[in-house]
Amino acid sequence: MKHEREALNEALKDWLKATTGLQAFVWQAPGAGETFPFVIYFPLGGGRDRNMRKPIAELTYAVKVVGPNMAQALQYAGEIADGLDDIETKGGLTAAEWHVINSRRGMAISLCEQVDNGQIYHEGDQYTFEMEVVDG
């Protein structure tokens, strides 16, 4: 069975690209030359409950849009939040054997970063995803 974090990484990459039209990168920003804006997401914690008959996992991720314009970054972050707020009623996210059954939005992420040619903005939220193994 695929690790729950690996499955969620894959599912989020596809979902973020389909929802926003932006490139999505797990763990870190792309190299020089990537066009703004883009999405970065990464795990913050969580794990699998091994005491259940059916594997269940709860993972917390940071999901943020990075771009040179705060208003644009906030707009995309809002689209992501709207889509993830009730992901379970919209068909959910599935990757490999895992299916996201619920998501909860937590703390906001907002950061202005000084770079050589100005500023870039990081706008997004923390999300906790509840996942279960798909019967099959």
The CATH number of whichever domain residue 122 belongs to comes to 3.30.2000.30
**Structural domain of 103:** 4-133
Nearest to 71 by CA among 126, 40, 110: 110
Reported as a single tens digit per residue, the pLDDT across 3-31 is 889 999 999 999 999 999 999 999 988 87
Reported as a single tens digit per residue, the pLDDT across 82-126 is 999 877 777 778 877 888 888 999 999 999 999 888 899 999 999
DSSP 76-96: HHHHHHHHHHTGGGGT-EEET
User: Structurally, how many domains does the chain consist of?
Assistant: 1
**Global pTM exceeds 0.85:** yes
Reported as a single tens digit per residue, the pLDDT across 49-92 is 766 677 889 999 999 999 999 999 999 999 999 999 877 777 77
Residue 44 has pLDDT above 70, yes or no: yes
Give me the sign of the Cα torsion angle 32, 120, 19, 132: positive
Instruction: Give CA–CA dist 36/25, Å, rounded.
Output: 12
